[in-house]
């Protein structure tokens, strides 16, 4: 990396984090004040209030990522299904970069959307408050010494699934990354069973969504320095769990996301092809 290029990345990152700090703290204040003002309604009808704070939450991060920050751009290649306001679904995305949650805001501003996230984010001041008031759900992790990695706490997973069911009953959609972690090489990884089992048990449709080129916005190997570029979201057709096993539903969803990825202008066949998902 040349000195000039590095200086540009430093400047770009400084601007980005400054935007994050000011916009995020302002949003925390606005959301907290709003809940305080309508607190009697919050006690009587919490979902109604949370749907408003949920929209505020996604608007905040959309402002950070794509309005005030001029280094990132996102194009949605197609629209959500016509019945997206009437039918709750599990929105599943592939995971490439730390910029992915910012991209998801383009959907989160259109419908009530509950995202699952790692509880390690609670180390950031006010995050627990912001996430809680906007309806987001944390997954607790513990360190597995034997395998030298973090794994979800078993009791936390059970509670998470119950909370997800409650959220859907209250009119919220779910947002998950079935790969469980970011892809280090950009290739679509295997999917975890958890939310496919949830979908089969509760008869919930899955909405496959592909994210392409988000690694250009925030490279995986760059913890703090952000990049710049154009990312795409390609939305597939909803997949019904009816008549499918967990494995069948998982394969159908992975194939749908892969096909949506292939249709993105930034798909790189030399690097991103998954042979077993080719027709």
> Which pLDDT score is estimated for 1?
59
Q: Which range (35-39, 115-119, 198-202) has the least confidence?
A: 115-119
> Which pLDDT score is estimated for 153?
77
- Distance from C-alpha of 191 to C-alpha of 185, rounded to nearest angstrom: 16
- Distance from C-alpha of 30 to C-alpha of 126, rounded to nearest angstrom: 13
> Which pLDDT score is estimated for 264?
98
**Is residue 266 packed enough to be buried (19+ CB in 10 Å), middle (13-18) or exposed (0-12)?**
middle
> Which pLDDT score is estimated for 175?
98
- Distance from C-alpha of 8 to C-alpha of 213, rounded to nearest angstrom: 20
Q: Which range (30-44, 53-67, 89-103, 114-128) has the least confidence?
A: 114-128
**Tokens 């990354």 label which residue?**
177
Q: Would the pLDDT of 144 be above 80? A: no
> Which pLDDT score is estimated for 5?
86
Q: Are 232 and 266 in contact (CB under 8 A)?
A: yes
Q: Where is pLDDT greater, at 101 or 148?
A: 101
- What does pTM read for this prediction? 0.94
Eight-state DSSP code of residue 90: E
> Which pLDDT score is estimated for 98?
95
- Count the domains in the chain: 1
Average pLDDT over residues 195-204: 97
- Distance from C-alpha of 151 to C-alpha of 149, rounded to nearest angstrom: 6
Q: Are 210 and 261 in contact (CB under 8 A)?
A: yes
Q: Would you place residue 68 in the very low, low, confident or very high pLDDT band (cuts 50, 70, 90)? A: very high
Q: Would you place residue 120 in the very low, low, confident or very high pLDDT band (cuts 50, 70, 90)? A: confident
- Distance from C-alpha of 229 to C-alpha of 9, rounded to nearest angstrom: 13
Eight-state DSSP code of residue 276: G
> Which pLDDT score is estimated for 76?
97
> Which pLDDT score is estimated for 103?
98
β-pairing, 229-235 vs 206-212, is antiparallel
Each as own residue / partner, the long-range contacts of residues 154-157 (CB below 8 Å, 24 or more positions apart, any chain) are: 157/194
Which residue range(s) make up the domain with 225?
3-277
Question: Which among 24, 54, 27 has a CA at the least distance from the CA of 174?
Answer: 54
3-state secondary structure 114-148: EEEEEHHHHHCCCHHHHHHHCCCEEECEEEECCCC
**Collapsed DSSP state (helix, strand, coil) of residue 275:** helix
What does the mean pLDDT of the chain come to? 94
- Distance from C-alpha of 98 to C-alpha of 22, rounded to nearest angstrom: 19
Q: Are 203 and 87 in contact (CB under 8 A)?
A: no
Q: Specify the CATH number for the domain of residue 58.
A: 3.40.1130
Q: Would the pLDDT of 237 be above 90? A: yes
């Amino acid at each position: 990396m040349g000195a000039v290029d590095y200086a540009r990345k430093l400047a770009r990152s400084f601007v980005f984090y400054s935007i994050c700090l000011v916009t995020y703290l302002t949003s925390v204040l606005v959301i907290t004040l709003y809940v305080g003002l309508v607190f009697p309604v919050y006690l009587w009808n919490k979902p109604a209030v949370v749907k408003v704070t949920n929209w505020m939450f996604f608007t905040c991060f959309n402002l950070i990522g794509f309005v005030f920050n001029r280094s990132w751009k996102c194009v949605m290649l197609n629209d959500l299904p016509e019945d997206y306001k009437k039918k709750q679904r599990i929105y599943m995305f592939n995971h490439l970069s730390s910029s992915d949650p910012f991209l998801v805001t383009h959907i989160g501003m259109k419908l009530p959307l509950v995202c699952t996230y790692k509880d390690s984010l609670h180390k950031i001041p006010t995050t627990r408050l912001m996430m809680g008031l906007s309806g987001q759900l944390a997954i607790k992790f513990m360190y597995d010494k034997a395998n030298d990695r973090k794994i979800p706490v078993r009791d936390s997973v059970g509670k998470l699934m119950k909370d997800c069911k409650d959220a859907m009953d209250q009119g919220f959609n779910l947002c998950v990354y079935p790969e469980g972690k970011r892809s280090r090489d950009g290739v679509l990884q295997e999917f975890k069973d958890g939310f496919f089992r949830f979908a089969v048990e509760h008869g919930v449709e899955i909405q496959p969504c592909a994210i392409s080129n988000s690694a250009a916005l925030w490279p995986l190997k760059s913890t703090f320095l952000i990049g710049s570029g154009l990312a795409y979201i390609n939305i597939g057709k909803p997949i019904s769990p009816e008549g499918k096993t967990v494995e069948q539903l998982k394969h159908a969803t992975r194939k749908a996301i892969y096909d949506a990825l292939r249709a993105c202008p930034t798909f790189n066949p030399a690097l991103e092809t998954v042979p077993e998902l080719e027709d």
